[in-house]
Structure 1
Amino acid sequence: MLWEVEIRPLGRDAERERVCDEFDLLTHGTRGGDLVSASSRGYLLEGNLAAPDVARFCNELLVDPLVESVKISPLGTVLDHPAFTVLLKPGVMDPVTESVLKAANDLNVPVSQVRTFRRYFSHENLPSQDCDTLVRKVLANDAIEQVVIGPLKSDHLALGQPYTFKLITVPLRSLDDAGLMKVSKDGQLALTIEEMRTIRQHFQEQDRDPTDCELESIAQTWSEHCSHKTLKGQIAYSETIDGRTRTTHYKNMLKETIFAATQTIRQRLGADDWCVSVFSDNAGVVKFDEQFHVCFKVETHNRPSAIEPYGGANTGLGGVIRDVLGTALGGKPICNTDVFCFAPPDFPPEELPPGVLHPRRVMHGVVAGVRDYGNRMGIPTVNGSVYFEERYLANPLVFCGTVGLIPVDKADKEVRAGDLIVAVGGRTGRDGIHGATFSSEGLTEQSEKISGGAVQIGNAIAEKKVLDVILQARDWGLYTAITDCGAGGFSSAVGEMGADLGARVELENCPLKYEGLSYTEIWISESQERMVLSVAPEKWEQLRKLCEAENVEAAVLGTFEATGRLKLTYHGQQVADVSMQFLHDGRPEIVRSAEWTKPTVAATSPPKPLAPTDALKAILGSFSVCSKEWVIRQYDHEVQGGSVIKPLVGVVEDGPSDAAVVAPVLGSTTGIAVGNGLNPRYADLDPWAAAAAAIDEAVRNVVAVGGDPTRTAILDNFCWGNITDPQMLGALVRTSEACRDVALAYGTPFISGKDSLNNEYRSANRKISIPHTLLISSLAHVTDVTRCVTMDLKEAGNDLYLVGVTKDELGGSHYHVVNGATGGRPPCPDLTQAPKLFAAVHRAITSGLVRACHDLSEGGLAVAVAEMAFAGGIGADVTGLAAISTEGELSDGVKLFSESTTRFVLEAKPGSAADLKAVFDGLPFAKIGTTVADQRLRIASSAGEWLVWAKLSELKDAWQKPLRW
């Protein structure tokens, strides 16, 4: 029998409030409360159930009688009021149903199928326009959900129909170029004409057409997401600066820039090389102590998050956690990071392009997705940032990172011929099909409809069980190699693991969520929470029993074999037989053209710039600078007990930390510092400067808390627009060259990276490309976490010092943003002096001379001192603008708000002055003021007049107000 369990809140109806607020936001009205009168949530239950069974199940599990009421009725019962019921579309992953089914089994309640729903009750005679907005824009996401008006009707809840095998071949050999591209487009393969021609020729030589499974395998493997074919490809680059042109031909740009820098740094280090594995595994690995190595990976999950923010971000974090779990023989996740780029949350709804979600809705969903996955897995989220810019409207960027610990003796893995191919974890469904190829293309107004299948929903509890079982199996030596099953599903995981050998897979052995999947869908599905292991046959039974004991599913899919081919069968029928060499090395070499010409953009002055105090408050209150406490408080950053410096610090723990510090081995004072750098606005003026500034900021962050700059590793994440545009690609090349140059100068090796290209939205009359965005993440060794410092001022009567050189570098600054100015010179570090400054700051901190340290970034000196003051509840008098080190004659406004790199503000006791001067001997270093007990900030001009005079409460309120949600 089918039952409907409807649950309503007894008190505040938070979901109704959310829906009403979102409706009002989209319509610029206040009528949401008149349209939606109440909300509920519920379950549809199928099974041999009598009413008492359902009531007992509800009372024991589904309902909290203190805050909820429940109504139980047969499915299809007429509703008392007009209602909209929202259900996930068939095949979309719903982790709640899995938990409910498991609980029903534990309670001996005969439930065979479950579906969840949300319901919204409306008033009579709802206007059609309001009804349309409510249904399409507010209540549901059409990519994954459906809305039913009125009572639900169904005779069963089971999904899927039995699959009848039919081998499908794709007639490529006789197709012309137009036909080839139609196959690519219709199949969402994201293959270029050159690639389609190469595939056609390959199968012409074999005198046969490819099966659909073979073609899909090639498309997944050759996708931008999986193969990074632009960054690793040939590029003819032309650069023009001040009338002089330089040309360079890269055979493999990534190898010749970022990889080359790391290789050179490791050669310099020689026997002291602290890198273990770089760019060769799922995450980069560096030495930590005698027992453990540390690994770090940062991934992007942009397009799925644009279509379905919660699921996209949820599985983005889940995927990068599996990257760490799949590194070496398995890393234990110890902390997470996240960086988001959104359009402003106050963006006018009427200006939204077709098919684009409002940025506030995107932000809410993305934060919730990361929150739920990390918190439920018991992994602290300790560092990140949120950046706002209108050009992220259609393509929000979601960067998720994970750091892990790997025992030193588990750092190597090897796939051996004869090993079994074992899948561990979640079952396979249709979720995520074409996710890798979808992530290689731009978005259009139709993406929400045609790419819904590329969106997955994660199950953190299932992944936690997989994590626990894998770490046990690792320590028992039950497998020889492991990787995660992410983009491309089994096609990528098995294909990569068996690239140097070969593999035979029997697809019918794969556990499925429901019936009806074809052999190709099984092969390329991106269902979450799955790992692939290489297991010696004699170890299989022990692994199977371990998984069974932990209620984690495991299945033998096939065998790795030394044939050099990927062979797939389905119930004895061969469905694919592809050369591994063609799969991984057969992609055609394409020479892309790239150009970059230095823009001639002179700085423009606003008609009437803001007064310094007003400008300071405006910058503090800008979305990119303001407090992100609303985000941070949703994350658990204390779980596992290792976080030393938190994302919020200060006297009441609400100030912005420069970086996080984690001591992952409890009882040890050895730790790691994690930071990041991101400066997209600088890239409008010079991508080289933007990349250099991002690296400098990432290193600055970790040095400011006590990280060792000589043991700092960095990661790159490139998010770019349409790279078929030579100018767009030229900016990418210039950015890569900056990464090489700065990494070499700083001695900071790149250990891992990821790119997400073609982040461009197109509709009939509009094109939106994201700004050139490079995220640099940093991981620094901390010898003794007890020596670390935070950014908040500690006590009155101490001295304030400015470290570094201030330059006329307001180009792309937040000062320009709040004043409406453009152009100018973007910040650019001094590659010779910066490493010396980092080393000196590190010496000062580890010597105990520094009470507080804060790096200068967005908003420059004025913002840095203001943040230090209101975080510590200690005032400051800055009277030394005339004493600071500058490049040329600068106005006081430039001194206050320039965003020049490699600068820090230090707080120190007066008795430390002589020792500090000795540490910074010969480097730009000047006393600029003192801390005071009065709750205010004053900054004097070079002539002695007060430029800034504000209460700390006013500055803090300006900083906290924008996202005080």
Structure 2
Amino acid sequence: MRDYFKKQNRNPTDVEIECLAQTWSEHCKHKIFNAEIYYNEDGKEEKIDSLFKNFIFKVTEEIKRTNTRRNECLISVFSDNAGIAKFDNKFNYAIKVETHNAPSALDPYGGALTGILGVNRDIMGVGLGAKPIANTDVFCFANPFYAKNLPAKILHPKRIFEGVVKGIEDGGNKSGIPTVNGAIVFDDRFLGKPLVFCGTLGIMPSVIKNKFTHIKEISPGDYAVMVGGRVGKDGIHGATFSSEEFHEGSPATAVQIGDPITQKKMLDFLTDARAHLLYRAITDNGAGGLSSSIGELAEISDGCEIELAQVPLKYAGLQPWEILVSESQERMSVVLSGENLQKFLDVAKKYDVEATVVGKFTNTGKFVAFYEGEVVADMDIKFLHKGVPKMKLKAEWNGNLDNEGYKEREIKVKDLSEILKKILSRLNIASKEGIIRKYDHEVQGGSIIKPIMGKNRDGLSDGAVIKPILDSKEGVVIGCGICPKFSDIDTYWMAANAVDEAIRNIICCGGKFEDISLVDNFCWPSPLHDKFKAAQLVRACKGLYDACLAYETPLISGKDSMSIDYTGKDLSGNVVKISGVPTLLITAMSKIDDVRKSMTAEFKNAGDLIYVVGLTNDELGAGEFYAEHGLSGKNVPKIDFKISQKIYRTVSKAIAQNLTESCHDCSDGGLAVALAECAFSGDVGIEINLANVPKEGNLSNEKILFSESAGRFVISLKEENKTKFENLMKGINFANIGFVRKDRKFIVKGNEGKEEKEIINVDIDELRDAWKTPLNG
């Protein structure tokens, strides 16, 4: 920056400094993922030019090059506000997931509300705009029953929990967008900064009047028009605030104020304007406000001029730089040709949406801002967007798990019925029904598989199925995977397991394996001055790359938040540093050809056969069973991608051929929890024998029940489909382990010494109560 303005023979203006600060912030420029990293593992150093280019973007390009089907279905990846994939011959669908961690730590309601409204606008601003049809929400919080003293500035986890849920509720419900899928993770290391992931799925016609809707076009002379809400001081420095650790001086004004009703009116207006091709390009006013939206659009035409005095304000008194970088909500920047300007303004008036010309696009190579005719910013577009210096980082991996905390233990439990109830009542497994029911998941009428399913509508779904076009039988399946607990052992397997879990959840609902696309969201404690955290990030990217390449599941969009840390003081004035757990959220989406073939998790009928597909290994490491006993272990679930891919393709075929009655994956809490969830969701009993479970080696009952090995499903089917199902499954590990009972007993048989006996015999109502009570009361 100094060198640039030295060549200009002048000092930068305050407008230019603020514009560069937000444009070059970590939040906007992803400097860590584009850094030059020197990675050391076992004494061998590897130079990585960019994590994004070498792992995330690269794996998608490799899949596109070798898989014709994938290449034809991917319309736009990593080049716009959201990823776009082909839905059918007439429509494309778009997906984006954002984080709003820092704002939610400061103002849980406002942070979450603007998080969901902001990602809605990402969908509205992709290509020529898509219609939001579904929201997702994933949260990582500290224990809501946290009883210790809190450091300065930190809100109690329960207050954050309730505020965030209310924000998502108001954002989705009042906008008329169903919230259909999500997850909640609890870990006290998220006390310093909670994680709030907000996602949106959208649908858009692929062509309007012979014009591809995923392409933005801008020519010199086109008008820059701001539509929607007015500009205020709320949200100023939001991008830079989100790029740093949370601390005692974090400003409340960095949190924007959302208004879903205003945004809904704007969406309706823009949908009408798009149908008549009244505009040529569009993007949202998110991080950095007009500085970002018009500044990024100006890359297409190679220049712009903005008159800040023309921008509508909520109140007088804003400085020019505040007008430029304010992140006040419900605003979009639209590009119009002169011939359509008046038509556009007339349609805006019809919908009572404010639309104002704030500038023009040029081809001068310059970003120029005026205030009342006076130049307040004049910079090269190339410098603004490409001038940020490349960061250099050092990373050193030491995967030493020899200390006592990682020691594997052989735990024998006297009463397995009681330990199962305890595991079911752990916060990361317990029912989230009380939260989910606050969200509208029926609005728009396209929800097929909803967040809550089962005989009594109190069981949770693996994923969601949405019908974007109501008169079509085709649908979209959405699922997610998140398992930060495995980062305590190895972030490579944390990332791989997140991918694997997301894919399993798609398969469980009937999604097509060959059509799965993924979105990656990294949230990481700052690796800037910590070689190990930097190495954990490299390991995670390697795990993500390997899993995606093996499964041929491309990454089409993503985001990162690289400072999930807090620094402050306790009540005694001592410095407190809290770093969150390295976390990767994977959101998956796929097609289902016929939503009538959608699958749910609950057991359906007495007499149905129960199967386990996939191999159970000695993999309790960082899982819920060990956590219940205060242990970590080191046997993290590892994945044979080749075997798992075969399982996923085969199970997908079984569901498509109507051979199954239910399908549920094994994840948190292992096989025992999966079986319990299927049983009480269907309001039926079961009887199974652990001796029949496919497993590696001679495992104890505890390990068979609670190991969290990946790549496994619990499936039920009618006796009449037994032969067809088993013939289809040949070549993979599977077994019939029992059946669905007429009564409500949950019975598990296992070996005690040389004898086979009942090791669990409990009524499903006891299991359901244990599962539902902790968070629902």
User: TM-score of the superposition, structure 1-length normalised?
Assistant: 0.78
CA RMSD of aligned residues (A): 1.2
The number of residues matched between the two structures is 758
Report the equivalent of 1:758: 563
Match of 2:295 among 495, 507, 515: 495
Report the equivalent of 1:150: none
2:70 and 2:515 in contact (8 A); partners too: no
Q: Which residue identity is paired with 2:521?
A: N
1:936 and 1:950 in contact (8 A); partners too: yes
1:434 aligns with 2:237: yes
Please identify, of 545-554 and 823-832, the stretch whose mean Cα deviation from structure 2 is larger.
823-832
Match of 1:732 among 526, 530, 537: 537
Q: Which residue identity is paired with 1:299?
A: E
1:900 aligns with 2:709: yes
1:722: how far off?
1.5
Report the equivalent of 2:224: 421
Secondary structure in structure 2 of the residue aligned to 1:870: helix
| 1:563–1:496 distance in 2 versus 1, CA, 3 Å | same
Report the equivalent of 1:117: none
Give distance in 2, aligned partners of 1:517 and 1:494.
19
Give distance in 2, aligned partners of 1:282 and 1:248.
32
Give distance in 2, aligned partners of 1:598 and 1:341.
25
Q: How does 1:354-373 map to 2 (within 5 A)?
A: 354-373=152-171
Match of 1:777 among 587, 592, 616: 587
Report the equivalent of 2:143: 344
| 1:510–1:857 distance in 2 versus 1, CA, 3 Å | same
1:626 and 1:963 in contact (8 A); partners too: yes
Give distance in 2, aligned partners of 1:354 and 1:869.
45
1:307 aligns with 2:106: yes
1:690 and 1:828 in contact (8 A); partners too: no
1:789: how far off?
1.1
Secondary structure in structure 1 of the residue aligned to 2:67: helix
1:675 aligns with 2:479: yes
1:610: how far off?
6.4
Give distance in 2, aligned partners of 1:909 and 1:795.
8
Q: How does 1:644-683 map to 2 (within 5 A)?
A: 644-683=448-487
**Overall identity of the aligned pairs, in %:** 45
1:222: how far off?
0.7
1:933: how far off?
1.1
Match of 2:116 among 317, 320, 326: 317
Give distance in 2, aligned partners of 1:406 and 1:466.
17
1:948: how far off?
1.4
Give distance in 2, aligned partners of 1:561 and 1:872.
62
**1:731-769 deviations in whole A, cap 9, x for unaligned?**
011101111111000010000000001111112421110
Q: Which residue identity is paired with 1:864?
A: A
Q: How does 1:233-632 map to 2 (within 5 A)?
A: 233-240=35-42, 245-270=43-68, 273=71, 274-348=73-147, 350-409=148-207, 410-447=213-250, 451-500=251-300, 501-601=302-402, 602-605=406-409, 609=413, 611-632=415-436
Q: Which residue identity is paired with 1:812?
A: A
Give distance in 1, aligned partners of 2:162 and 2:297.
37
1:604: how far off?
4.5
1:208 aligns with 2:16: no
Q: Which runs of 5+ in 1 are unaligned?
A: 1-198
1:606 and 1:821 in contact (8 A); partners too: no
Give distance in 1, aligned partners of 2:681 and 2:349.
51
Give distance in 2, aligned partners of 1:883 and 1:875.
18
Give distance in 2, aligned partners of 1:272 and 1:584.
31
2:411 and 2:702 in contact (8 A); partners too: no
1:446: how far off?
3.0
Give distance in 1, aligned partners of 2:411 and 2:668.
23
Give distance in 1, aligned partners of 2:248 and 2:584.
26
Report the equivalent of 2:663: 853
Give distance in 2, aligned partners of 1:262 and 1:427.
39
Give distance in 2, aligned partners of 1:420 and 1:470.
16
Give distance in 1, aligned partners of 2:768 and 2:589.
30
Match of 2:685 among 862, 875, 886: 875
1:313: how far off?
0.1
Give distance in 2, aligned partners of 1:351 and 1:272.
52
Secondary structure in structure 1 of the residue aligned to 2:642: coil
Secondary structure in structure 1 of the residue aligned to 2:775: coil
2:63 and 2:70 in contact (8 A); partners too: no
Secondary structure in structure 1 of the residue aligned to 2:774: coil
2:135 and 2:177 in contact (8 A); partners too: yes
Match of 1:955 among 761, 764, 767: 767
Give distance in 2, aligned partners of 1:800 and 1:908.
7
Q: How does 1:146-165 map to 2 (within 5 A)?
A: none
Secondary structure in structure 2 of the residue aligned to 1:545: helix
Give distance in 2, aligned partners of 1:334 and 1:797.
39
1:910: how far off?
1.1
Q: Which residue identity is paired with 1:534?
A: V
**1:457-509 deviations in whole A, cap 9, x for unaligned?**
20000000010111111111011110000001011111111024110000011
1:607: how far off?
7.9
1:797 and 1:930 in contact (8 A); partners too: yes
**1:628-665 deviations in whole A, cap 9, x for unaligned?**
01110000000000000010110011101000001110
Report the equivalent of 1:841: 651
Give distance in 2, aligned partners of 1:912 and 1:784.
21
**1:340-381 deviations in whole A, cap 9, x for unaligned?**
010011101x42111100000000000000000100010000
Report the equivalent of 2:605: 795
Report the equivalent of 1:139: none
Give distance in 1, aligned partners of 2:683 and 2:545.
41
2:36 and 2:393 in contact (8 A); partners too: yes
Give distance in 2, aligned partners of 1:866 and 1:607.
21
| 1:610–1:572 distance in 2 versus 1, CA, 3 Å | farther
1:677 and 1:694 in contact (8 A); partners too: yes
User: Which of the pair has the greater relative contact order for Cα pairs under 8 Å at 6+ separation?
Assistant: 2
Match of 2:552 among 740, 747, 754: 747
1:566 and 1:578 in contact (8 A); partners too: yes
Q: Which residue identity is paired with 2:189?
A: R
Secondary structure in structure 1 of the residue aligned to 2:708: coil
Please identify, of 421-430 and 611-620, the stretch whose mean Cα deviation from structure 2 is larger.
611-620
Q: Which of 1 and 2 has greater Rg? A: 1
Match of 2:756 among 933, 944, 960: 944
Give distance in 1, aligned partners of 2:16 and 2:265.
33
1:610 and 1:819 in contact (8 A); partners too: no
Give distance in 2, aligned partners of 1:607 and 1:738.
30
1:616: how far off?
1.1
Give distance in 2, aligned partners of 1:689 and 1:271.
28
Match of 2:517 among 713, 718, 741: 713
Secondary structure in structure 1 of the residue aligned to 2:649: helix
Q: Which runs of 5+ in 2 are unaligned?
A: 208-212, 570-574
Secondary structure in structure 1 of the residue aligned to 2:696: coil
Match of 1:921 among 726, 730, 740: 730
Secondary structure in structure 1 of the residue aligned to 2:68: helix
Give distance in 2, aligned partners of 1:759 and 1:585.
26
Secondary structure in structure 1 of the residue aligned to 2:299: coil
**1:853-891 deviations in whole A, cap 9, x for unaligned?**
100000010000000000001100011x22222222211
1:603 and 1:811 in contact (8 A); partners too: no
Q: Which residue identity is paired with 1:736?
A: C
**1:377-436 deviations in whole A, cap 9, x for unaligned?**
100000001110000112110000000001111222112221100000000000000000
1:247: how far off?
2.4
Give distance in 2, aligned partners of 1:318 and 1:476.
25
Please identify, of 727-736 and 308-317, the stretch whose mean Cα deviation from structure 2 is larger.
727-736
| 1:435–1:837 distance in 2 versus 1, CA, 3 Å | same
